[in-house]
Structure 1
């Protein structure tokens, strides 16, 4: 059926007989409206009616003009649209019931049919609905506690984010998965409350009115702590990279999240002594006077449970970092599978950066930066030797709140190191054009240090930068050159400052090559002054395929790179990337 233009719709409909659109407008209920529409077109295929309805709904709504036929039609289509888009309370109830049963929970509906109760032995969630299915209110009540309003759950259900709502139900259930009766499970929840109070007290120790979130994330005793609210557990944000900080500054109104961990309690097969009340004495007295009460029988209880720091995504950690955490907590981290640390970092980075699965066996990655030739990084993944091995850690168990600051500091250190290595990884492992390339190889050392090998920009010898991540806030760098090669005009202190500002190996290498370009330009000027008739300087080139084949080990490569002079002066490198090109260029000009 061809649909006439909007001004002709009403005459067209009325000429076909049946109830007029004016009759439809006088319908007193939704059911009557739909019934009259059905009767009007009962002699026509329903598909034709749908075409007409969707055509009317697709037109932008205009303010109806008095006594104008198209104004009446628009009013009619608005009612139809509201009817078709109306949320059914029955469908919402069905969705909640199905979701709850999938999580092993029970669902009850109130006699009025407007309230849904999702229950377990230890907690229940009350959901109040409007008759049209809109969520009015959500309350959560733990064992023997009064229900509290949960705005976070209200927002999730109003947005129909049932996946996130289901995850919260799952977390609530897991929190009570402690062996024993309801009293034992309640004690586990009481221990979690005591831990949360102590951690919150720690977060207040060095907090001032002018303390911003980023400073607290990077330097706070327990990072940036967000207390548990409703169904959302307490979480700690403990590291954020300079790139993420810059991204947040560029996107005003948005808050970029760093690396977080969730604080909870989990059931165990063995008994552990957990505090049932806060242990910090006089938390406002200052950092130096942080004192914990003794874990006596009156303040604690042996429970088949442990406190846990859980990560949204497993964190690649070196064997030495894992051992350090285990010494600090006195508890083994179970379920670890050792593998080369760099392989785990590459795997984790690709999973985060790429929407589709890529092979984690790749070791060659291409990184593009503004005002710089494309970089090609070869990641030497090392082996499973003890000093180069690691594991993906998804949770860290502990039994005393005093362990948390030390664990957070170890995590910061590890994630800072991972950030540098992951900056060399991209989803591009094939050079898509014939652009100029600079080649680098990243080679792991002991603990948290590594080397970046590259061809000297002026000579044909290898150069090397050793980066040692002492802590999340301290980095030492050393540039090693052949004694016969000219300087790159970059001191160790300069390189360390750039690393700390950007935490990006490609940006650091760009800074080195920019400074070296100035040295090369000065050298060429001196040569031209010494020779009255200088011969044309031959350009050094290389075959990329043969170069890749020669990369068999650190310090053994014979690299030759196309090197074009770059007259850009660079005394301090910014942490811009291709995504932040404009801001980066502005910072370099300052």
Structure 2
């Protein structure tokens, strides 16, 4: 039996080595197996990977080393091989190779990697500027200059709404730093770091530029794209402008639905506890410049000072996208004859939109304008016909509700609940009886309709609750940081070849080709 087992192990070990060599060849990398047959070396001019196995085929460790660096163990690579997930392992090999796709010889490629290292060090210095000892991850994600930064150590690519910082070859020369530009970790008077000038000693011309890369394309308005291009001085290539709301609907359906649904649907049904079903019609607007947008997955830049500004634009855009996507569901057909409340969501200007609906008491339209001023400031206003009864929801109440839950359906439910309270109070007064003949029970006034706790919460449901102003702000940060960040999950992945910026849009994972930073994108305060 032992002899048979040894024979089987030898065949199994041989098959693993063959698979690794075949995978390396597919990715245009070199490979060779050690004389003992228990180690495989995958190499290029700029990096190499060591895979060590035991005789029984069990993967002992996987080490990665870039040119001039000591090898480090990559836990994610170990796990991929132990689970025989060769596709994921091959993707990491591809990402590592792409890191060095810079025109020129090995020396120029090494300079490109040096530029990336310098950028990482400057981003880390910026992350320390406003950090206190007790700062939490959510606060860093929502308010940090570069989000929540995780130094690069060498694992797999990150996922979710994070943005990876890397370098890429270009057809034209760009002036890139090859040494850190932040000499003093103290911020200036305006809170921004002081950068050293791009002298010949600290920088050089390379056929490359830095990139912020998103794993999932982000729907962005034309105004947000223009704002980023002004920050970087570089045009974002290959953009196709279409109505922004159409892009948000498409992206949301791909994220929410496991099955293929038509992305041309504009009508969606949303079910909430203790209220009639909502029907949302998403008015996608037109392709006019102020209503159009494009899917953005790559943002080029050449200086570390651009990163905080880019992240802030992404946060702002993801806050807007989160509100629109809250009206989108996989249900585009009403499956029963239950009562329906109808709403139309239409773009206005810049990052504002309207939610129109039939007045609960009169046959006139009512409208809520939601203006996403920044990722942390939202203003709402309710518009009614002058002769129509109040809905008992002030502009301040609606604004606080939107910031608190970042969900249009939940806010609309709260407004309709407040209207029901007004009607109930009116009916109670109409039914007063003669107190001399039949004394009435003491009248209890209706609860304040602008109380978020009562309007947003549902019996038996773990809805958001505001107990005071400070708790509202804290809760807002928590709910917004997870709205689009699976990241921005809550596990930390290490990174090998880039720095990962997590905004929006919602989790810190460890990454193999990146050092990463969560910075999103999905919050308001």
User: One fold, TM greater than 0.5?
Assistant: yes
Q: Does 1:478 align with 2:381?
A: yes
Cα contact 1:115–1:128 (8 A) shared by 2:
yes
Q: Does 1:275 align with 2:275?
A: no
User: Equivalent residues in 2 for 1:139-158 (5 A)?
Assistant: 139-158=63-82
User: Equivalent residues in 2 for 1:530-569 (5 A)?
Assistant: none
Structure 1 equivalent of residue 38 of structure 2 = 114
Coordinate RMSD, CA, aligned: 2.7
User: Relative to structure 1, is the Cα distance of residues 483 and 289 closer, same or farther in structure 2, using a 3 angstrom cutoff?
Assistant: closer
Structure 2 equivalent of residue 354 of structure 1 = 257
User: Relative to structure 1, is the Cα distance of residues 144 and 577 closer, same or farther in structure 2, using a 3 angstrom cutoff?
Assistant: farther
Cα contact 1:576–1:583 (8 A) shared by 2:
no
CA distance in 1, matches of 2:318, 2:181: 29
Q: Does 1:132 align with 2:11?
A: no
Structure 2 equivalent of residue 250 of structure 1 = none
Three-state SS of the structure 2 residue aligned to 1:431 is: coil
Q: Which runs of 5+ in 2 are unaligned?
A: 435-445, 472-525
User: Relative to structure 1, is the Cα distance of residues 469 and 266 closer, same or farther in structure 2, using a 3 angstrom cutoff?
Assistant: same
- Choose 405-414 or 568-577, whichever is displaced more: 568-577
Three-state SS of the structure 1 residue aligned to 2:98 is: helix
Residue from 377, 384, 387 that aligns with 2:287: 384
Cα contact 2:181–2:196 (8 A) shared by 1:
yes
Deviations 1:107-131 (A, max 9, x none): 2111111111111221111111111
- Choose 377-386 or 142-151, whichever is displaced more: 142-151
Cα contact 2:160–2:216 (8 A) shared by 1:
no
- Choose 521-530 or 569-578, whichever is displaced more: 569-578
User: Equivalent residues in 2 for 1:504-523 (5 A)?
Assistant: 504-523=407-426
User: Equivalent residues in 2 for 1:20-99 (5 A)?
Assistant: 27-31=1-5, 88-99=12-23
CA distance in 1, matches of 2:460, 2:44: 53
Q: Does 1:449 align with 2:361?
A: no
Cα contact 1:122–1:143 (8 A) shared by 2:
yes
Structure 1 equivalent of residue 368 of structure 2 = 465
Three-state SS of the structure 1 residue aligned to 2:18 is: helix
CA distance in 1, matches of 2:453, 2:94: 46
Deviations 1:207-242 (A, max 9, x none): 122111111111111111122121446x7xxxxxxx
CA distance in 1, matches of 2:405, 2:90: 38
Structure 1 equivalent of residue 452 of structure 2 = 572
User: Relative to structure 1, is the Cα distance of residues 284 and 333 closer, same or farther in structure 2, using a 3 angstrom cutoff?
Assistant: same
Cα contact 2:247–2:294 (8 A) shared by 1:
yes
Offset, 1:167: 1.8
Deviations 1:339-367 (A, max 9, x none): 11000000000011111221111000001
Give the paired residue count: 456
Cα contact 2:449–2:455 (8 A) shared by 1:
no
User: Relative to structure 1, is the Cα distance of residues 481 and 576 closer, same or farther in structure 2, using a 3 angstrom cutoff?
Assistant: closer
Three-state SS of the structure 1 residue aligned to 2:191 is: helix
TM-score of the aligned structures, taking structure 1 as reference length = 0.73
TM-score of the aligned structures, taking structure 2 as reference length = 0.82
Structure 2 equivalent of residue 103 of structure 1 = 27
User: Relative to structure 1, is the Cα distance of residues 528 and 459 closer, same or farther in structure 2, using a 3 angstrom cutoff?
Assistant: farther
Structure 1 equivalent of residue 519 of structure 2 = none
CA distance in 2, matches of 1:427, 1:184: 49
Structure 2 equivalent of residue 365 of structure 1 = 268
User: Equivalent residues in 2 for 1:162-561 (5 A)?
Assistant: 162-232=86-156, 259-284=161-186, 288=191, 290-529=193-432
CA distance in 2, matches of 1:298, 1:232: 33
Q: Higher helix share goes to which structure?
A: 1
Offset, 1:573: 5.1
Offset, 1:259: 2.5
Cα contact 2:365–2:384 (8 A) shared by 1:
yes
Does 1 or 2 have the higher relative contact order (CA < 8 Å, sep 6+)? 2
CA distance in 1, matches of 2:339, 2:453: 21
CA distance in 2, matches of 1:581, 1:354: 27
User: Relative to structure 1, is the Cα distance of residues 116 and 388 closer, same or farther in structure 2, using a 3 angstrom cutoff?
Assistant: same
CA distance in 2, matches of 1:209, 1:215: 12
- Choose 456-465 or 88-97, whichever is displaced more: 88-97
User: Relative to structure 1, is the Cα distance of residues 383 and 171 closer, same or farther in structure 2, using a 3 angstrom cutoff?
Assistant: same
CA distance in 1, matches of 2:51, 2:455: 47
CA distance in 1, matches of 2:127, 2:233: 23
Q: Which runs of 5+ in 1 are unaligned?
A: 1-26, 35-82, 236-256, 532-565
Cα contact 1:464–1:479 (8 A) shared by 2:
yes
CA distance in 1, matches of 2:464, 2:204: 59
